[in-house]
Structure 1
Amino acid sequence: MTRMLLRLHTPLPEHAADSDAALLLALKRLPRAAQQVFLLSRLDQLAQARVATRLGLPLRSVERLMVQALLAGQPRPDGPTSQAARWYVRLQSPDVTACERIDFRRWLDASPNHLQAFHATELRWRSLYAPALALGRDGWYRKGRAALSLGGCSIAAALGMAVLVLLGLWT
Structure 2
Amino acid sequence: MTRLLLPLDHHAEPADTAELALLHRLKALPRRVQQVFLLSRLDQLTYAVIARRLDLSDASVERHMNQALQATLPAPAPLARAAGQWYVRLQSPLITASERIDFRRWLDADPEHLAAFHATELRWRSLLAPARALGENLWYRQTRAAFSLGGCTVAMGLGLAAVLALGFWY
Q: Under TM normalisation by the shorter chain, which class is it?
A: 0.7 to 0.9
Structure number with bigger Rg: 2
Match of 1:97 in 2: 96
Q: Helix, strand or coil for the counterpart of 1:91?
A: helix
In the alignment, residue 60 of structure 1 is paired with which amino acid?
A
Further displaced range: 56-65 or 122-131:
56-65
Secondary structure of the 2:71 match is: coil
Give 1:137 shift.
Answer: 0.3
What is the correspondence of 1:11-160 to structure 2 with a 5 Å cutoff? 13-146=12-145
Shift of the 145–120 alpha-carbon distance from structure 1 to 2, 3 Å rule, reads farther
Contact 1:16–1:127 (CA<8 Å) still a contact in 2?
no
Give the equivalent residue in structure 2 for 1:151: none
Output the aligned Cα RMSD. Answer: 2.3
Asked if the contact 2:58/2:93 (under 8 Å) is kept, the reply is no
Q: TM-score, structure 2 length as denominator?
A: 0.78
Checking the alignment, whether the CA contact within 8 Å between 1:33 and 1:146 is kept in structure 2 is: no
Give the residue type in structure 1 aligned to 2:91: Q
Query: Aligned partners of 1:15 and 1:36: how far apart in 2?
Result: 23
Structure 2 runs not aligned, ≥5 long = 156-170
Over 3 Å counting, the alpha-carbon distance change for 1:86 and 1:147 in structure 2 is farther
Q: State the shift of 1:33 in Å.
A: 0.8
Distance in 2 of aligned mates of 1:99 and 1:5: 19
> Is this contact kept in 2: 1:71–1:85, CA < 8 A?
yes
Unpaired runs of 5+ in structure 1?
A: 149-154, 160-171
Q: Percent identity?
A: 61
Matched positions, count: 147
TM-score (norm. length: structure 1) = 0.77
Inter-partner Cα distance in structure 1 for 2:144 and 2:53: 8
Alpha-carbon deviation of 1:7? 2.7
Instruction: Tell me how far 1:73 sits from its aligned partner.
Output: 3.7
Residue 71 of structure 1 aligns to a residue whose secondary structure is helix
Shift of 1:75: 4.0
Cα offset, 1:18, TM superposition: 3.0
